[in-house]
Amino acid sequence: MKKCPYCNQKISFFGTLFGGIDHTKCNSDAAKHKSFLRKYLKSEVMLGKFNKIAPNEFAEAQKYLSGTLEAEKSMAAGFDDAVEEMCDDISLDDEELQKIEQFMSDFGTRFPEPKPGEPSTQDYLSNMLGIYGSFTTLGQARMLHELQKGILPEKQPPSGLMLNKNETFIYSWDSVRCSILNVKTRFRGRSTGGSYRIAKNFTIRHTEHRGEPVAYSEWKDVGSGILSVTNKHLIFLGDKRDVKERFSNISSLDPTNDGFIVNLSLKTRPAVRFTMSSSSRDAWFASNVILKAPSV
């Protein structure tokens, strides 16, 4: 028989129908505690601290949710909310980075010293707070911040990538699908409401990547592979064929929900579309790297 994780009493298969215990209040109390933890964590991260004397609600929520992983998940969600807000102007500056570090260090003091053989508090916190990919996003936002200052990410070019003289490799992504617009249909309208001129000083927000999916029918799939960006080209090394586009032929970039479209000033190929296999935040990162690439 299933038990309620909050009051530890039976949950009847039939609910309250045959006199089973009503757990409506258990669930609504849990929801209240979870929402408190999420909001509280977010506000502390944004302030760059963790109050040693947290409000009573914090301890109450932890106690109520103990026996489940819900407290940890709610805190990770709050942490991620803060990360998303900090990174929405794309770059994680020194002040924001310091806030994260100070929060982590304050928060870490709430956990007991690990016993021998147990993971360090730092590893434990990274696992616990990172379930929504926040640390990946922080790393990406930091790379964008440095790229803006002319510092290249430390990334090895994929094998087989040929560069011209004076061409600088910047970054690459694995498992990207490439499709080319069927010339007869021509791409009309924008995917998610944004279109960005390449090499102008624009930034694309996370929210720009959350629009409607683009219909695939007009696009001819040319395979899956590694997409590299240099200061001169976008280079796709695919399993079926390669695609190489010069930035001087790329007029703009449109974010989609799962990647981006580059519009070309060529009659034969009006647009090329790249779809990332990973999260929309990876698409956000890639689009922003590409916008900056020609000015590196």
- By the criterion CB under 5 A, which residues form the site for Zn ion? 4, 6-7, 23, 26
Q: Least distance (Å) from Zn ion to the CB of residue 78? A: 24
| Among 176, 175, 211, residue whose Cα is nearest residue 194 | 211
Burial of 158 (0-12, 13-18, 19+ CB in 10 A): middle
Tokens of 70: 């819900």
Q: With respect to Zn ion, which residue has the nearer C-beta, 26 or 129?
A: 26
Q: Least distance (Å) from Zn ion to the CB of residue 40? A: 24
Measured between alpha carbons, how far is 169 from 161 in angstroms, rounded to an integer?
A: 9
Q: Least distance (Å) from Zn ion to the CB of residue 60? A: 16
Direct distance between the N- and C-terminal alpha carbons of the chain, in angstroms, rounded to an integer? 62
Q: With respect to Zn ion, which residue has the nearer C-beta, 29 or 146?
A: 29
Q: Least distance (Å) from Zn ion to the CB of residue 15? A: 12
CB 146 within 8 A of CB 138: no
Q: Least distance (Å) from Zn ion to the CB of residue 6? A: 5
Instruction: Cite the DSSP H helix spans in the chain.
Output: 24-47, 56-65, 70-87, 94-108, 121-129, 134-148, 280-292
CB 252 within 8 A of CB 263: yes
Angle between helices 70-87 and 121-129 (to 10 degrees): 80
Q: With respect to Zn ion, which residue has the nearer C-beta, 4 or 161?
A: 4
Closest residue to Zn ion, judged by C-beta, is 4
Q: Least distance (Å) from Zn ion to the CB of residue 3? A: 8
Q: With respect to Zn ion, which residue has the nearer C-beta, 34 or 209?
A: 34
Got the DSSP string for 209-261?
GSSPPPPSTTEEEEEEEEEEEESSEEEEEESS-EEEEEGGGEEEEEE-SSEEE
Q: With respect to Zn ion, which residue has the nearer C-beta, 34 or 177?
A: 34
Q: With respect to Zn ion, which residue has the nearer C-beta, 20 or 158?
A: 20
